[in-house]
Amino acid sequence: MLSYAIKRILGAIPTLLIIITLVFFMMRIAPGGPFDAQRHLPPEIENNIKAAYHLDQPIWKQYGLYMANLAHGDLGPSFKNHDFSVNELIADGLPVSAKLGFSAIILSIVFGITLGTIAALNQNDVVDHGVMGLAMIGITVPSFVTAPILALVFGIYGLHLFGIDIFLPAGGWNGGALQNMILPVIVLALPQIAIIARLVRGSMVEVLRSNYVRTARAKGLPNYVVVYRHALREALLPVVSYLGPAIAGLLTGSLIVETIFGIPGIGRYFVEGAINRDYTLVMGVVIYYAAFVIVLNLIADILYAAMDPRVRFQ
Amino acid sequence: MSAAGLTSRNTETIERALDVKGRSLWVDARRRMMRNRAAVVSVVLLTTIALVAIFVPMVWPYSYQQIDYSNILCAPGWWPDRSVSCFAGGYHIFGTEQNGRDLFIRVLYGARISLAVGLVATLVSLLIGVGYGAIAGFIGGKLDELMMRFVDVLYSLPYIFLVIILMVVFNQNFFLLFVAIGAVEWLTMARIVRGQTLSIKEKEFVEAARAAGLSPLKTIRQHIGPNILGPVVVYVTLTSPTVILSESFRSVLGLGIREPLTSWGVLISDGAAHLETAPWMLIFPAAIMAITLFCFNFIGDGLRDALDPKDR
Between chains, do A148 and B253 touch, taking CB under 8 Å as contact? no
Rounding to the nearest 10 degrees, give the CA dihedral for residues A224, A226, A231, A236: 30
Task: Give backbone dihedrals phi and psi of A77, rounded to 5 degrees, phi first.
Answer: -80, 150
Q: Cis before residue A34, ω within 30 degrees of 0?
A: no
| A21 and B CB contact within 8 Å | no
Cross-chain CB nearest to A290 (options B157, B164, B252) = B157
- Please enumerate residues of B whose Cβ is less than 8 A from a Cβ of A: 152-153, 156-161, 164-169, 171-172, 241, 245, 248-249, 252-255, 265, 268-269, 271-272, 275-276, 282, 286, 289-290, 293-294, 297
Residues of chain B found within 8 Å of residue A142, distances taken between Cβ atoms:
245, 248-249, 289
**By the 8 A CB rule, do A251 and B158 touch?**
yes
**By the 8 A CB rule, do A189 and A253 touch?**
no
Alpha helices in A262-308 (DSSP H): 266-276, 279-307
Task: Give backbone dihedrals phi and psi of B305, rounded to 5 degrees, phi first.
Answer: -60, -40
Q: What is the pLDDT of residues B121-153, one digit of tens each?
A: 888 888 888 888 888 888 878 888 888 878 877
The 10 Å Cβ neighbour count of residue A262 is: 12
Q: What is the pLDDT along chain A (314 residues), one digit of tens a residue?
A: 677 778 777 877 887 888 888 888 877 776 666 666 556 677 777 777 777 777 777 888 888 888 888 888 888 888 777 778 888 888 888 888 888 888 999 999 999 999 999 999 888 888 888 888 888 888 888 888 888 888 878 877 766 666 666 677 777 777 777 788 888 999 999 989 998 998 899 888 888 888 988 999 899 888 888 888 888 888 888 888 787 778 877 877 788 888 888 888 888 888 888 777 788 888 888 888 888 877 877 787 777 777 776 665 54
Q: Residue B123 contacts by C-beta under 8 Å, 6 or more apart in sequence? A: B182
Between chains, do A251 and B158 touch, taking CB under 8 Å as contact? yes
A100-122 core/surface letters (b: 16 or more CB in 10 A; e: else): bbebbbebbbebbbebbbbbbbe
Q: Residue A82 contacts by C-beta under 8 Å, 6 or more apart in sequence? A: none
Angle between helices A143-150 and A237-261 (to 10 degrees): 60
- Max CA-CA distance within chain B? 98
Euclidean distance between CA atoms B241 and B114, whole angstroms: 9
Euclidean distance between CA atoms A109 and A192, whole angstroms: 8
Between chains, do A289 and B294 touch, taking CB under 8 Å as contact? no
**By the 8 A CB rule, do B101 and B68 touch?**
yes
The 10 Å Cβ neighbour count of residue A49 is: 15
| A105 and B CB contact within 8 Å | no
Residues of chain A found within 8 Å of residue B156, distances taken between Cβ atoms:
12, 15, 19, 290, 293-294, 297
Angle between helices A178-208 and A237-261 (to 10 degrees): 160
Q: Residue B260 contacts by C-beta under 8 Å, 6 or more apart in sequence? A: B64, B65
Chain B closest CA to A22's CA: distance in Å?
9
Euclidean distance between CA atoms A167 and A157, whole angstroms: 8
A13-30 core/surface letters (b: 16 or more CB in 10 A; e: else): eebbebbbebbbebbeeb
Residues of chain B found within 8 Å of residue A293, distances taken between Cβ atoms:
156, 158
Lowest mean pLDDT among A57-61, A105-109, B13-17, B181-185: B13-17
Beta bridge partners of B96: B102
**By the 8 A CB rule, do A138 and A194 touch?**
yes
Nearest to B46 by CA among B295, B258, B274: B295
Euclidean distance between CA atoms B154 and A256, whole angstroms: 22
Between chains, do B156 and A19 touch, taking CB under 8 Å as contact? yes
Between chains, do A140 and B293 touch, taking CB under 8 Å as contact? yes
Between chains, do A144 and B268 touch, taking CB under 8 Å as contact? yes
Cross-chain CB nearest to A30 (options B156, B168, B241) = B168
Tell me the average pLDDT across B2-29. 69
Provide the 3-class DSSP secondary structure of residue A266: helix
Q: Locate the chain B residue with the closest alpha carbon to A272.
A: B253
| A166 and B CB contact within 8 Å | no
Q: Locate the chain B residue with the closest alpha carbon to A156.
A: B276
Between chains, do B165 and A289 touch, taking CB under 8 Å as contact? no
Which of B173, B244, B253, B281 to mutate to test binding with chain A, by most A CBs within 10 Å of its CB? B253
Q: What is the pLDDT of residues B56-108, one digit of tens each?
A: 888 887 877 777 777 787 878 777 777 777 877 777 888 888 888 888 889 99
Angle between helices B37-59 and B25-35 (to 10 degrees): 80
Euclidean distance between CA atoms A119 and A132, whole angstroms: 7
Note the ipTM here: 0.70
The 10 Å Cβ neighbour count of residue A174 is: 12
State how far the alpha carbon of B237 is from the alpha carbons of B34, B224, B292, B303, in Å: 17, 21, 12, 9
